[in-house]
Chains A and B, each alone.
Chain A
């Protein structure tokens, strides 16, 4: 009888630890997404003020965060879709285009379009953040 009670309590403790770890991972994932959204706002501000070098630097940070998210198991079900792949590719294209403008290699970059792509990214990340916070995704 005593052994059974100890076993049950051990199982309950293990489950509680697993749940806590999952919750901590989710909080970290939400924090990563919040960080990415904050970076988007910084990039938009730099673009608005024509500080293209600084915008490009922060875009590199944003890209690194977006790629890192693909390897986070709590985010996997959210980032595996084509829409996510497309925002990462578009960000890469925008970075190369902004880089070409800065180096004087090619003119004719539409900063409004970069901003539009960033808005799309922010909307998608905002949806992910809500799904993680309110637990509406299948991991």
Chain B
């Protein structure tokens, strides 16, 4: 069970991310995202454990010396905690990949009278 103070921090981070006021970066793990907060940082990671056949999510708080000062982990079987951590992970991932901005750009392009797509002259078969 995620403690109440952590739930508050995670909810605030989700809201700030959804308001486009949070700059997330990718770490050296495939699906882990990091945001610098003051002198420390927070990370959110998602991975699949093939032995237990479960998805996992974590939320870690790092200090300025690059050490973990606290960490929360939830398996997909712990539904409530997993959903809370998943909301943050999804928000961070969408922010990092600028999903909303890209979808808006696509919509604007489709609504316009501009010709979309590109042709490469050399690709012509004749």
A residues in contact (CB < 8 Å) with B: 63, 67, 82, 85-86, 88-98, 106-111, 113-114, 117
| Interface pair B34/A88, CB less than 8 Å apart | no
Give 8 pairs: A residue, B residue, CB < 8 Å, sorted on A: A67-B65, A89-B41, A90-B34, A98-B28, A106-B45, A106-B49, A110-B28, A110-B29
- What 5 pairs between A and B have smallest CB-CB spacing? A92-B66, A108-B30, A113-B28, A114-B28, A89-B66
Chain B positions within 8 Å of A91 at CB level: 66
Among A67, A82, A93, point to the contact of B27 (Cβ < 8 A). A93
Chain B positions within 8 Å of A89 at CB level: 34, 36, 40-41, 62-64, 66
Contacting residues of chain B (48-79) with chain A, CB-CB under 8 angstroms? 49, 62-68
Task: List 15 extra interface pairs beyond A98-B28, A106-B47, A109-B29, CB under 8 A.
Answer: A63-B65, A63-B66, A85-B64, A88-B66, A89-B40, A92-B62, A92-B66, A93-B66, A95-B66, A97-B28, A97-B29, A106-B49, A108-B30, A108-B47, A114-B28
What is the total number of residues of chain B having a CB less than 8 Å from a CB of chain A? 23
A62 CA to B100 CA, complexed, in Å: 39
Interface of B is mostly: strand
B63 nearest CB neighbor, chain A only: A89
Chain A positions within 8 Å of B64 at CB level: 85, 88-89
| Interface pair B66/A108, CB less than 8 Å apart | no
Contacting residues of chain B (20-45) with chain A, CB-CB under 8 angstroms? 26-32, 34, 36, 39-41, 43, 45
Q: How far is the CB of B18 from chain A (nearest CB, A)?
A: 24
Q: How far is the CB of A71 from chain B (nearest CB, A)?
A: 11
